Homo-oligomer: A and B are copies of this chain.
Amino acid sequence: MRTIVTGGAGFIGSHLIDRLVQRGDEVIVIDNLSSGVIEFIQGHIDSNQVQFFNIDLKSLEQIKPIFVGIDMVFHLAANPDIRLGTKITDTDLNEGTIVTYNVLEAMRLADVKKIAFASSSVVYGEDAPMPTPENHGPSIPISLYGASKQAGEGLIGAYVGTFGLQAWIFRFANIIGHRGTHGVIFDFIHKLKADPTRLEVLGNGLQEKSYMEVCDCVDAILHVVSKTDQALNLYNLGSHDTCSVRNIAAIVVRETGNEGASIEYTGGDRGWAGDIPKAMLAIDRLEALGFRINYDSEEAVAHTTRVLIKEIMG
């Protein structure tokens, strides 16, 4: 199987590639390394199991030839920083919505039929019931990142309905783990590395979200793709519970050995404008396919904290 992974040098992409290489896929990575890290996949490149293109997906002309003869695309490339949209408003449009259009168009032109897409729980917007089922509506995101993920879903739906593509849309909870390059745990460890005496927490710390360990995430993606065959398959990926930001702060302070650090909250019920303070996805549909996750939220946070401390603190 010839597989493209967009954003394959990124956090989740590199874990997915570990699995795809293991099962014997010919893997082609397209990544402009804007947030990807080539070292994550260098071993596979060196052993000729991954072909790497340092190309920007914003150029349809440049990516078109790469799609010829491909069986399936895992489209993970995106700006990973949700907060960025509060400062720079066109990144998610360009790196998200337009890039997804380019990927779909390159697929159409090369007659590639299968795509899996990394969407997000943030497409559900605010005030969704917890846990949130896939059929919750209306789904109106409140961040530009969320808008670009929702726009990606809609474009995929259009290509399925109009041009006969087959698609798997995955709405991710907060994915954390080994090789994490952003997010709350990553931020906390970096802050404590810079100043072990204090930890600034955005918001009042009562934000409460569901976390999924990255290996659970990529295993779930491959499990769902292998077990489903609708024209459009929509699945939440997450865990069974939530973990509060206060709890994460306590875990990171403990695991880094900085029990004495003062934890300072900036206040307010959310980390930034467009943040969704409480989120938890229903994963009944995932589990009905026989998939079991290894880590619930707090275990995933503790595990991730330990591996990221090694990566960041050295």
Q: What is the size category of the interface that chain A forms with chain B?
A: 35 or more
In the bound assembly, the distance between CA atoms of A137 and B86 in angstroms comes to 27
Min Cβ gap A270→B in Å is 10
Q: A97-134 toward B: CB 8 Å interface, digit per residue (1/0)?
A: 11001000100100000000000000101100000001
Min Cβ gap A281→B in Å is 13
Q: Are A125 and B273 in contact (CB under 8 A)?
A: no
Q: Please, which residue of chain B has its CB at the minimum distance from the CB of A273?
A: B162
In A116-162, the 8 Å CB interface with B consists of 123, 125-126, 134-144, 146-148, 150-151, 153-158, 160-162
Q: Are A162 and B274 in contact (CB under 8 A)?
A: yes
Asked if A142 meets B157 with Cβ closer than 8 Å, knowing A162-B273, A273-B162, A273-B163, the reply is yes
In the bound assembly, the distance between CA atoms of A142 and B167 in angstroms comes to 12
Q: A268-293 toward B: CB 8 Å interface, digit per residue (1/0)?
A: 00000110000000000000000000
Q: Residues of B contacting A143 with CB < 8 Å?
A: 158, 161-162
In A144-190, the 8 Å CB interface with B consists of 144, 146-148, 150-151, 153-158, 160-163, 169
Q: Are B162 and A158 in contact (CB under 8 A)?
A: no
Q: A194-231 toward B: CB 8 Å interface, digit per residue (1/0)?
A: 00000000000000000000000000000000000000
Would you mind naming 19 contact pairs between A and B with Cβ atoms under 8 Å apart? A89-B108, A90-B101, A93-B155, A125-B161, A126-B161, A137-B138, A138-B139, A138-B234, A139-B139, A140-B157, A141-B157, A143-B158, A144-B162, A146-B157, A147-B151, A147-B154, A150-B151, A150-B153, A161-B273
A: residues with CB less than 8 A from B are 85-86, 89-90, 93, 97-98, 101, 105, 108, 123, 125-126, 134-144, 146-148, 150-151, 153-158, 160-163, 169, 232, 234, 273-274
